[in-house]
Amino acid sequence: AQTVTQSQPEMSVQEAETVTLSCTYDTSENNYYLFWYKQPPSRQMILVIRQEAYKQQNATENRFSVNFQKAAKSFSLKISDSQLGDTAMYFCAFMKPYSGNTPLVFGKGTRLSVIA
Amino acid sequence: EPEVTQTPSHQVTQMGQEVILRCVPISNHLYFYWYRQILGQKVEFLVSFYNNEISEKSEIFDDQFSVERPDGSNFTLKIRSTKLEDSAMYFCASSEAGRDTQYFGPGTRLTVL
């Protein structure tokens, strides 16, 4: 079974600074998908970024980017120019090869606080 | 932008009672999911649903749980006889055919007393 590990339960960053959240996973699959979801205090889960394992290029979405290291099974999230609105719980999630409605496997999350 | 919606936002019930949590997936999505998040813990998969059938379920999804798509828009999760340990946030999600990204609703907080 796949597992996702987020080793940083809590992190903080000064506004406008850069922060990196770590995620590692364990799988025997070769093709899979990785996601970062954000859960602000409102509790809604919001997709931040996704990465396809067969693509070597790291995904980017505005201030959010990932460092995907397939051999190391590592998928970290970098947030640049942190904003107060980035304060949230961040979950890393894994999806085995897509077959229609494949479930997500989540890590335990990292609580990020952006400080003014 | 289309969103997944869930009702109610908060449900309080007595142990042993039945509850139905409701979700309206994004209209052109065909795949539906329920996840659960016990307070302070990670989000866990419960069940996936496609073409009026359960596609996959986790070991959490035992006989007290059931899902249904009663009409063309709603997707429901029923818990027949609630237990204290069912207290959690329940998230509905949906995805398009051929697309891996799942979109989540705002969740229903279930409190079992």
Nearest to A77 by CA among A89, A88, A90, A87: A90
Provide the pLDDT for residue B59: 94
pLDDT at site A44? 79
Q: Do A47 and B103 touch (CB under 8 A)?
A: yes
| pLDDT band at residue B98 under the 50/70/90 scheme | confident
Contact B91 A101 (CB under 8 A): no
The CA-atom distances, in angstroms, between B79 and each of A35, A83, B6, B24, B91 are: 29, 40, 16, 18, 14
- The per-residue pLDDT string of chain A (116 residues; one tens digit each, 9 = 90 and over) reads 789 999 999 999 999 999 999 999 999 988 999 999 999 887 778 999 999 999 889 999 999 999 999 999 999 999 999 999 999 999 999 998 877 788 999 999 999 999 99
What's the pLDDT at A36?
A: 97
Query: Distance (Å) from the C-alpha of residue B18 to the closest C-alpha of chain A?
Result: 24
Q: Which residues of A touch B50 (CB under 8 A)?
A: 100-101
8 Å CB contact of B104 and A50: no
Residues on chain B touching A50 (C-beta within 8 angstroms):
100-101
pLDDT (0 to 100) of residue A104:
95
Q: How many CB pairs under 8 A join A and B?
A: 62
In this prediction, residues B51-75 reach a mean pLDDT of 93
pLDDT band at B71 (very low <50, low <70, confident <90, very high): confident
* B31 contacts A44? CB cut-off 8 A: no
Please judge whether A100 and B101 are an interchain contact, meaning their C-beta atoms are less than 8 angstroms apart: no
Beta carbons within 8 Å of A103's beta carbon, 6+ residues apart: A95, B33, B45, B48, B56, B58
pLDDT at A41: 83
Instruction: Give the per-residue pLDDT at A108.
Output: 92
Separation CA B32–CA B37 (nearest Å): 17
Q: Is B76 on the interface with A (CB under 8 A)?
A: no
Contact A44 B107 (CB under 8 A): yes
Mutate which of A25, A90, A98, A101 to disrupt the B interface (most B C-beta within 10 Å)? A101
Beta carbons of B95 and A101 less than 8 Å apart: yes
Q: How far is A31 from chain B (nearest CA, A)?
A: 13
Q: Report residue B38's pLDDT band, with 50, 70 and 90 as the boundaries.
A: very high
Q: Judge if the upstream peptide bond of residue A40 is cis by omega within 30 degrees of 0.
A: no
pLDDT-derived band at B1, boundaries 50, 70, 90:
confident
Q: Identify which of A90, A42, A45, A40 has the alpha carbon closest to the alpha carbon of residue A64.
A: A90
